[in-house]
């Protein structure tokens, strides 16, 4: 940027102009290399979305930006990613919103079970006012929220028995994400929840340290959980968003034009990622069945029992997070349903 020396009021001040005031706009895109880390495999829609992001950003910066992609938590698990971004050792990352709730508690509203009936409802809330309110809470923590991608509706797998009733949860040692709402929900169901980083789950399942885990179908298939988990229960108990974040330390050093290129690519690649994820979700169910997993549905009647048991847990968390925000989310879901 340009340093101007301003004379006035008898004092001499130095003013730094922002890049957008510069005479040559082309100069506001500099040659940059940055890292984007994602938790899941290259084959998963998250990995594919990251590739799409790289393509768009490199093209729209006329080749000035160079994005290095890291899959499978190579730069660290979700919690580590948050620290890396805050510290500025990693520029960009995609994680589930759930582990972010220990940094910004309001993200916990997306861990409330059975809020959304389908992906479209989730998009309305995430891309609307509620989603934006939450993104706006990140900069004061050294993070920039650029948009929501999709992890998706979670289903339960385990090695003991089919889970089709409330009773069936009792005593199951289930890995949860590091997140208070998830922990309390599975405790209320009578399970024995163990929070654990995603990268440790396969080994823990394989060695029977834990009985089960819950994740969207594409993760269960692509990360081969079916090889160590015979039972899949279609609980669809909660929708987990992915959040695409930047390090504030990195972001603050970018020109407006550079920020725009990255921001727009997050949204465009996100559209692609969400569509692909819905396709992968459908295909994964067929593939998991074909691979021999025993799949069962959970009846609406049992789901009502489950909801009743976890109701006090959600009420407690709503109070801690803030009733205004939770009420707003429910109101927006109702509005989306009426459309």
- Would you tell me which residues interact with ligand TK8 (CB under 6 A)? 39-40, 73, 78, 95-96, 151, 177, 198, 215, 219, 240
Nearer to ligand TK8, 277 or 326 (CB): 277
Neighbours of 192 (CB within 10 A): 14
> Are the beta carbons of 143 and 244 closer than 8 angstroms?
no
> In 3D, which of 239, 243, 259, 240 has the Cα closest to residue 251?
259
> Are the beta carbons of 113 and 155 closer than 8 angstroms?
no
Nearer to ligand TK8, 40 or 172 (CB): 40
Least CB distance to ligand TK8 at residue 240 (A): 6
Least CB distance to ligand TK8 at residue 254 (A): 25
- Counting Cα atoms < 13 Å in the Cβ hemisphere of 159 gives 18
Cross-strand bridge partners of residue 4:
15
Q: Taking each helix axis as running N to C, give the angle between helix 300-321 and helix 323-338, from 0 to 180 degrees, rounded to the nearest 10.
A: 140
Nearer to ligand TK8, 78 or 91 (CB): 78
Which class for 144: exposed (0-12), middle (13-18), buried (19 or more C-beta within 10 A)?
buried
Least CB distance to ligand TK8 at residue 46 (A): 7
H helices present in 223-255, as ranges: 248-251
Least CB distance to ligand TK8 at residue 185 (A): 14
Least CB distance to ligand TK8 at residue 306 (A): 20
Nearer to ligand TK8, 78 or 221 (CB): 78
Tokens standing for 190? Answer: 């009578």
Nearer to ligand TK8, 214 or 258 (CB): 214
> Are the beta carbons of 125 and 199 closer than 8 angstroms?
no
> Are the beta carbons of 68 and 93 closer than 8 angstroms?
no
Q: What's the CA gap between 166 and 255, in Å, rounded?
A: 54
Position closest to ligand TK8 via CB: 39
Q: What's the CA gap between 111 and 16, in Å, rounded?
A: 43
> Are the beta carbons of 141 and 211 closer than 8 angstroms?
no
> In 3D, which of 187, 186, 213 has the Cα closest to residue 199?
213
Nearer to ligand TK8, 154 or 336 (CB): 154
């Amino acid at each position: 940027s340009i340093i101007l020396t301003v004379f006035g009021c008898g004092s001499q001040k130095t003013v730094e102009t922002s890049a957008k005031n510069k005479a040559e706009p082309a100069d506001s895109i500099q040659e940059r290399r940055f890292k984007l880390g994602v938790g899941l495999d290259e084959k998963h829609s998250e990995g594919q979305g990251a590739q799409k992001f790289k393509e768009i950003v490199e093209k729209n910066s006329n080749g000035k930006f160079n994005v290095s992609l890291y899959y499978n938590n190579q730069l660290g698990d979700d919690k580590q990613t948050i620290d890396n971004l805050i510290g500025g050792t990693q520029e960009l990352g995609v994680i589930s919103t759930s582990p972010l709730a220990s940094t910004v508690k309001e993200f916990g509203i997306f861990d409330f079970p059975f809020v959304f009936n389908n992906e479209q409802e989730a998009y309305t809330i995430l891309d609307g006012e509620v989603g934006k309110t939450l993104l706006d809470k990140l900069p004061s923590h050294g993070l920039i929220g650029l948009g929501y991608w999709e992890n998706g509706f979670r289903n339960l797998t385990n090695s003991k028995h089919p889970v089709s009733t409330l009773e069936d949860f009792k005593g199951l040692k289930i890995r949860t994400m590091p997140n208070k709402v998830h922990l309390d929900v599975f405790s209320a169901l009578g399970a024995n929840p163990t929070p654990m980083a995603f990268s440790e789950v396969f080994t823990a399942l394989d060695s029977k340290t834990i009985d089960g885990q819950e994740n969207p179908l594409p993760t269960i298939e692509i990360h081969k959980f079916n090889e160590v988990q015979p039972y899949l229960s279609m609980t669809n108990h909660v929708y987990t968003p992915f959040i695409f974040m930047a390090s504030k330390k990195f972001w603050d050093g970018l020109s407006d034009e550079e920020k725009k290129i990255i921001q727009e690519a997050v949204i465009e690649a996100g559209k692609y990622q969400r569509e692909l994820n819905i396709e992968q979700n459908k295909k994964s169910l067929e593939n998991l069945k074909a691979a021999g997993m025993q799949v069962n549905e959970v009846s609406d009647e049992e789901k009502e029992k489950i909801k009743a048991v976890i109701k006090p847990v959600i009420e407690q968390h709503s109070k801690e997070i803030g009733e205004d925000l939770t009420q707003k989310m429910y109101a927006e879901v109702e509005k989306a349903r009426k459309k």
